[in-house]
Amino acid sequence: MNSEFTIAVHSLVFLANLPDHRASSESIAYNICTNPARVRKIMSTLRKNSLVRTKEGLGGGYTLGCSPAEISLGLIYRVISTGTLKPHWCSGDPDADCIVKSNIQTVMDDIFTESEQSVIRHLEQITIEDVLKKVRTAH
Amino acid sequence: MNSEFTIAVHSLVFLANLPDHRASSESIAYNICTNPARVRKIMSTLRKNSLVRTKEGLGGGYTLGCSPAEISLGLIYRVISTGTLKPHWCSGDPDADCIVKSNIQTVMDDIFTESEQSVIRHLEQITIEDVLKKVRTAH
DNA sequence: TCGAACTGTGTCACTTAACGTTACAGTAGA
DNA sequence: TCTACTGTAACGTTAAGTGACACAGTTCGA
């Protein structure tokens, strides 16, 4: 899984925890411990999927697109991280004679896709509100 | 997920597909398209968990530790890839004052661990025999 | 209308993880 | 004892992840 998922979840939890649910990329980046440009890039993707609203210009920044209880981690994963469960490196060679060597990539692809589906199903049961509650009650 | 999982599964499927279920690290590596040393390292881990038997010396190599139907991908994952679902990069800072910034790591850790469990549960339903069948019937 | 404070996005540099290569000790059979 | 194996460590190389910077576009207030 890529770390952009972590950043997306953290950003949304951070916004949900603020009284007015509003912040700039700079303050979000400071809380996450990364740089503002990276945050803006990810938030831009979230905006295109209506998870946040953005406002450019003076007094602008990011706000939640809907209630924290309505945003599931599964949706965030689908938007940000689809395909990242599968490793980059592939074994075998589609042009080879041996059926194992030539067909393993297709078969493993299916297995990774199905595994990813099971992760998404699990993450769909967790909302930003749930994560915020856990953050607030963490020892 | 790391690509060592792919290599482990491919190796076991390759062995299962051979009449005598026996091969050297060199022939396995050739089928996978990687180098023998890498295969040996992974097979060594599999041996410690009784998934394969190894034999050093002349005429040595690797054989399956049990029937292809008895080896699930979930077991392989646990042996080879536990912990690899979580990204290396972490957001936040445990020593910070803000509860989001300081607690998010613990909360995300739990989420990644649970997600990994759901992947393992899914992979436990797939055996090496299943993968071999898919490889043989792939278009 | 000008300037300050924002986002959106691209590019390049740097850091780190992934992967390959080589080497060599240990083992077993011919 | 020679050959063909595994086991493992060390090092070099390549690719991915991350950070830093730049700048155009947007918005609002003075």
Does residue B3 have a pLDDT over 90?
Answer: yes
Please check the confidence at residue B26 and state whether its pLDDT lies above 80: yes
**Res A138: pLDDT:** 85
Please state the rounded mean pLDDT for residues A104-119. 98
Residue B129's pLDDT band (cuts 50, 70, 90): very high
Give B-chain residues touching A119 at CB under 8 angstroms: 85, 115, 118-119
So what's the pLDDT on residue A73? 98
Per-residue model confidence as pLDDT tens digits over B53-96: 999 999 999 999 999 999 999 999 999 999 999 999 999 999 99
- Name the average pLDDT for chain B: 97
pTM: 0.96
Cβ separation B118–A122 shorter than 8 A: yes
Whether the pLDDT of residue B139 is over 80: the answer is no
- Chain B residue with minimal CA distance to A77? B115
Q: Is residue B24 scored above 90 in pLDDT?
A: yes
CB B119 within 8 A of CB B4: no
Tell me, what's the pLDDT at A88? Answer: 97
Give every CB contact of residue B108 below 8 A, 6+ residues apart in sequence: A6, A9, A10, B86, B90, B91
Task: Round to whole Å and give the CA distance between B64 and B56.
Answer: 15
Strand C, CB < 7 A, residues 60-119 of B: 60, 84, 88
Residues in B closer than 8 angstroms to A14, CB to CB, are 100
Calculate Rg over the CA atoms of chain B: 18
Handedness of CA A103, A107, A110, A111 (dihedral sign): negative
Q: Decide if B138 and A106 are in contact by the 8 Å CB cutoff.
A: yes
pLDDT bin (cut points 50, 70, 90) of residue A118 is very high
* Whether the predicted pLDDT of B19 surpasses 90: yes
Q: Which residues contact A82 (CB under 8 A, 6 or more apart)?
A: A116
The pLDDT assigned to A139 comes to 74
Which bases of strand C have any atom within 7 Å of the beta carbon of a protein residue? 3-11, 16-23, 26-30
